């Protein structure tokens, strides 16, 4: 797969061929056609015929917004039906279909799912991340999806945040380098299909600086689920919150502008320079002012100072949080600089509110024209007018062996070896027996985490791939007797020289992953003790979206490997465990000794070193 340099796209935004086309289209468009272009609707809340009727500019699948049954072919048919409807409108302006392909085309069963960003941050390999972008783009285009809401270029400062795994690192420069690499990969043209994918830098800006709050956000706020209610029904029911949830996500970043510019802005500058044509605003606030209504940050800084000529899109139903009066929500967001609104359910209500706001002069016609100009510019730069539906032959490559090899490489390079007493690793293929324990050792869903087939992710055989157990069995063939127990309850007096305990976090996404305590659970600790009693050397594999508090349990471990959330190709772990490849991963975050060293500011103020610093990682 080859492609033109991604920054050619950014230069293409001012292409003398594009602007006259935009002028011509704008001169022909009615107000209804313009407002439709500014509207993004969730796929279960609209029919293809309504796309044509309301001139809709974008349709999306939220996390888990999949066709039934969930197959690549059905995905393509669903997307193409919406696109065909858009092409039947008077001006035949194509829509752009969007998804959260945040670690591969992760909603589609059978697609390759890569390690989450925290694991890729541990690899520190920009070339690898660029190749991951190319593979992801190819699998997206197989289903004729042209827009992914990635990369997340957050710089997380508090490990309690449920989005920590969406960040590459707490190191701003590393985030900038790897985010830009993914943008370049996503933006490359496929060599055998002259199509490309839109990257989207998110969530603008400083969401990683949000502070812990003692009470969760209002129950009506965290409504980003994927399954829409009937179109004219009431809003989804309130989400039942557990202690520790929604305490950081969508919160406030009380930092000064110098900190915002020094730590959180550079990854966006790098992503835009690499060719990102879209930016998603954050649910969060900066000094108690919601980003979706922040004219200074969206219009003055992003569009003005940084010269961003692409489009700014909202997050899921995010403008609803701006004001009790929905029309005021629309007015505030559009006047702040939002160009496209992810409604996502009641698109009629949004279009009506925006039309009324324009008629009353609350949103100027010039602001509408600017937003539509940006949307058309992005679609023209993307090549959608020339090829609105991608080459169907790309379906043959979705989930193919070559793509899985890239993911397997990513798993190998993401692993971080934190402890290796007695040279416990690499494992010898000469040991007669190996004990393996832990549910996550044989569970694709657990090793993929959130944003995997469904929004929150779930345990079980959710998609195709290789589990840790399957990878180890393939690596040793019949030379080693592998005794596996999900709960570590081995029969009789079973004992072995080597035991492997696989610990894991349950899957989560967004604010549902906010946690007050990152210590190991009682079940995880019990598993460690059971396996420790059965082996001479205990190797621990940690499946997690962030560092955990393990200080008390560390002495019982002879070796500790952090595998993060590796995705579908866990045979990459076996490659390194048995010494076919060396450990190369380095921590993308400092590893705290205790909860008192969280957030990062507390670690810095403590005067005590973390358990391991950011950048630490053994090679043997």
3-state secondary structure of 402: helix
What DSSP state is assigned to residue 215? S
Determine the Cα–Cα distance for residues 79 and 48; give it in Å rounded to an integer.
9
User: Could you tell me the strand order of the sheet in which 285-286 lies?
Assistant: 252-253, 285-286, 289-290
Of residues 95, 266, 278, the one with CA closest to residue 186: 278
Tokens of 41: 């609707």
Q: Which residues pair with 322 in a beta bridge?
A: none
| 510 a catalytic residue | yes
Marked catalytic residue, from 315, 339, 571, 575: 315
As a whole number of angstroms, the distance between CA 467 and CA 373 comes to 47
- Return the H-helix or E-strand segment holding 496: strand 496-504
| Residue 607, phi then psi, degrees to nearest 5 | 75, 0
**Cβ-proximal residues to 446 (8 Å cutoff; 6+ apart), any chain:** 439, 440, 459, 504, 506, 507, 543
Cβ density class 505-539: b for 16+ within 10 Å, e for less: bbbbbbbbbbbeebbbeeebbebbebbbebbebbb
Return the SS3 of 213: coil
Strand residue runs (E) in 29-95: 39-42, 58-61
DSSP category for residue 264: I
- 285-286 vs 289-290, strand pairing mode: antiparallel
Number of H helices and number of E strands within the chain? 20, 17
Active site residue 315: yes
| 8 Å CB contact between 571 and 470 | yes
What the block records as the tokens of 327 is: 């029309």
- Distance between CA atoms of residues 528 and 248, nearest Å: 31
* Residue for token pair 């007695």: 422
From the candidates 130, 339, 346, 510, which is the catalytic residue?
510
Q: Which of 448, 453, 440 is nearest to 568 (CA)?
A: 448
Chain center to CA of 276: 16
CA distance 535 to 423: 15
Catalytic positions, please? Answer: 315, 510
């Amino acid at each position: 797969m080859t492609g033109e340099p991604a920054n050619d796209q950014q230069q293409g935004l001012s292409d003398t061929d594009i602007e006259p086309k935009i002028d011509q289209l704008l001169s022909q468009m009615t107000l209804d056609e313009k407002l439709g272009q500014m509207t993004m609707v969730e796929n279960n809340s609209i029919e293809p015929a309504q796309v044509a009727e309301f001139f809709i500019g974008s349709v999306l699948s939220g996390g888990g917004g999949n066709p039934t049954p969930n197959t690549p072919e059905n995905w393509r048919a669903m997307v193409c039906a919406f696109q065909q409807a858009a092409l039947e409108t008077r001006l035949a302006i194509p829509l752009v279909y969007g998804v959260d392909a945040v670690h591969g085309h992760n909603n589609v069963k059978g697609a390759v799912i890569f390690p989450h960003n925290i694991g890729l941050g541990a690899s520190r390999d920009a070339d690898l991340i660029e190749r991951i972008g190319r593979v992801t783009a190819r699998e997206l285009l197989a289903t004729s999806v042209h827009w992914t809401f990635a990369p997340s270029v957050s710089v997380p400062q508090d490990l309690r945040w449920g989005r920590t795994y969406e960040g590459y690192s707490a190191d701003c420069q590393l985030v900038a380098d790897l985010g830009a690499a993914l943008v370049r990969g996503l933006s490359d043209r496929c060599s055998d299909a002259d199509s490309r994918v839109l990257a989207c830098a998110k969530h603008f800006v400083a969401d990683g600086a949000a502070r812990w709050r003692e009470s969760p956000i209002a129950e009506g706020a965290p409504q980003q689920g994927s399954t829409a209610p009937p179109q004219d029904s009431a809003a989804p029911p309130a989400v039942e919150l557990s202690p520790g949830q929604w305490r950081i996500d969508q919160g406030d970043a009380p930092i000064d502008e110098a900190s915002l510019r020094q730590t959180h802005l550079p990854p966006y500058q790098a992503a835009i320079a690499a060719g990102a044509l879209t930016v998603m605003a954050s649910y969060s606030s900066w000094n108690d002012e919601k980003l979706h209504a922040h004219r200074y940050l969206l219009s003055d800084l992003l569009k003005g100072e940084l010269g961003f000529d692409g489009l700014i899109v909202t997050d899921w139903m995010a403008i609803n949080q701006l004001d009790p009066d929905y029309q005021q929500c629309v007015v505030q967001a559009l006047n702040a600089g939002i160009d496209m609104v992810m409604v996502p359910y009641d698109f009629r209500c949004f279009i009506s509110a925006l039309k009324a706001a324009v008629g009353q002069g609350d949103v100027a016609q010039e602001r509408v024209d600017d937003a539509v100009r940006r949307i058309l510019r992005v679609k023209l730069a993307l090549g959608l007018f020339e090829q609105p539906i991608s080459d169907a032959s790309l379906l043959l490559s979705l989930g193919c062996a070559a793509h899985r090899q890239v993911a397997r490489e990513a798993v190998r390079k993401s692993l971080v070896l934190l402890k290796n007493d007695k040279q416990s690793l690499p494992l010898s293929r000469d040991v007669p027996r190996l004990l393996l324990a832990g549910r996550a050792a044989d569970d694709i869903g657990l090793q993929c985490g959130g944003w995997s087939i469904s929004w929150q992710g779930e345990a079980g055989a959710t998609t195709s791939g290789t589990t840790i157990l399957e990878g180890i069995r393939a690596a040793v063939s019949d030379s080693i007797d592998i005794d596996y127990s999900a709960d570590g309850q081995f029969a009789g007096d079973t004992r072995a020289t080597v035991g492997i305990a696989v610990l894991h976090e349950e899957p989560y996404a967004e604010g549902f992953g906010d946690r007050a305590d990152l210590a190991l659970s009682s079940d995880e600790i019990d598993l460690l003790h059971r396996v420790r009693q059965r082996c001479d050397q205990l190797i621990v594999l940690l499946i997690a979206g962030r560092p955990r508090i393990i200080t008390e349990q560390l002495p019982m471990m002879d070796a500790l490997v952090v595998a993060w959330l590796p995705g579908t190709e866990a045979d990459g772990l076996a490659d390194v465990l048995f010494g076919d490849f060396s450990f190369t991963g380095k921590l993308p975050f400092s590893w705290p000794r205790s909860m008192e060293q969280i957030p990062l500011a507390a670690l810095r103020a403590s005067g005590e070193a973390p358990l391991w610093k950011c950048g630490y990682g053994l090679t043997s």
